[in-house]
Amino acid sequence: MEKLLRLLADRELHSGEEIGRLLNISRAAVWKKIKNLQALGLQLDVIRGKGYRLASGVELLDSTTICNALDKTVLNNTVLHTCLITESTNDLICTLANRSFSNKIQFCTAEHQTRGRGRRARQWSNPFGGAICLSALWCLGEGTASLEGLSLAVGLGVLQALTSCGATELGLKWPNDILWQGRKLAGVLLEVHGDPTGDCQVVIGIGVNIKLTDKQLATIDQPAVDLATVCGQNISRNRAISAIINALYHILEGYKVKGFSMFRDQWCQHDIAVGQEVTLDASEKKVRGRALGISEGGGIILETDKGCRVFHGGEISLRIGG
C-alpha cells in the first residue's frame, strides 16, 4: 500500500494498467487497493479512462520535511518515528521507544490509526491523510505526583503551534481541548505510567483535524472544525507536526523547571469558559456552576450553590452552557 501511495503522491494521473505494471500486480488487485485506501478516508481523484491521483490538498507524512523544520535544539533532543497505519500511536510509541534514548522525548506519528482514542474512552476520528495523530513519550524522575496541570500546559503548546501555522481566534476549553468558534479543532490525551514519587513515563497523545470533508466532520460526536477552515487555506500536515513538536519540547522543558505555574497566566488568556455557566460531568455525577478560572495547579474553579469548589482533571467532561 505504501508503494501505491508514493506513486499517487506525485499529483499525476496514473492508470490502473500503469500502476499494475509498476507494482507488479493485476488490475483487479489495483482496484482493490484503491478501494481500501478510500475506505480509510483517503481522498483520491478517480477520473474515468485516465486514472487515479491524490486529491488536491492531501499531503503524505515526510519525516525528513518534519525534522528539517525543527529547531536545532529540538532536533538534537528528540526522536521521531513515522508509520503508515497503526491501531494507536499512544500504544505504538511505547512499543517503539528505545531505552537508549530515554533522555530524549520520543515522538510517533502515523498516516492513519484504527483505534485512536480521546478522553473518557471516546474514539478520535482519524481519516487517512486528513488529520494529525501524534504521540510523545516523556520520561522523568519526579514521579506522577509532579504532573499537576501538565495536560493544560500541553494544550497551550498545541494552541501556540497552530497559531504559528496561521490559525486565529483559538480558545482553550478546560482541561485540554482547542476550539475555534465553539467547534473542536484539536484535543490532548495524557496516559501516565510509573511511580508516584519515582521514575515515570508520560504518553502524550495529540489529535488535530487538518482537512476533513463535510461527511467526515459529521461523523464526529460534537461540533468540529479543521485547520484548513480556520486558516482559510490548506495547511501542510508536516509543517503543523513540526510546529507542535517544537512547541511541545519547549513546554515540557519549562514544565520540568517551574511546573504549570509558568504557563497559568498564558492559559488563562485563552480560557473560553471563564465567567460562563458550565456543567462538569464526572462518572455520571453532574456539578453545575459558574466558571471562575483555574487554580495554581490547573484545577477549574466553580462557583456553585455550595460555595466555590476546585475540580481537577481525570475523567471529567466540561460543557459550557446552562
123 vs 26, 92, 103, 163, 314, CA distance in Å? 36, 17, 31, 25, 17
What are the residues whose beta carbons fall under 8 Å from the beta carbon of 122, sequence distance 6 or more?
Answer: 221
CA 230 to chain centre: 16
Nearest partner of 95 among 111, 77, 83, 103, judged by Cα = 83
Please list, residue by residue across 285-300, b when 16 or more beta carbons sit within 10 angstroms of its beta carbon and e when fewer do: eebebebbebbeebbb
> How many Å apart are CA 58 and CA 51, to the nearest integer?
17
> How many Å apart are CA 1 and CA 315, to the nearest integer?
38
CB 63 within 8 A of CB 238: no
> How many Å apart are CA 299 and CA 267, to the nearest integer?
12
Residue 282 C-alpha cell reads as: 464526572
Residue 36 C-alpha cell reads as: 481500501
Catalytic residues: 119, 184, 319
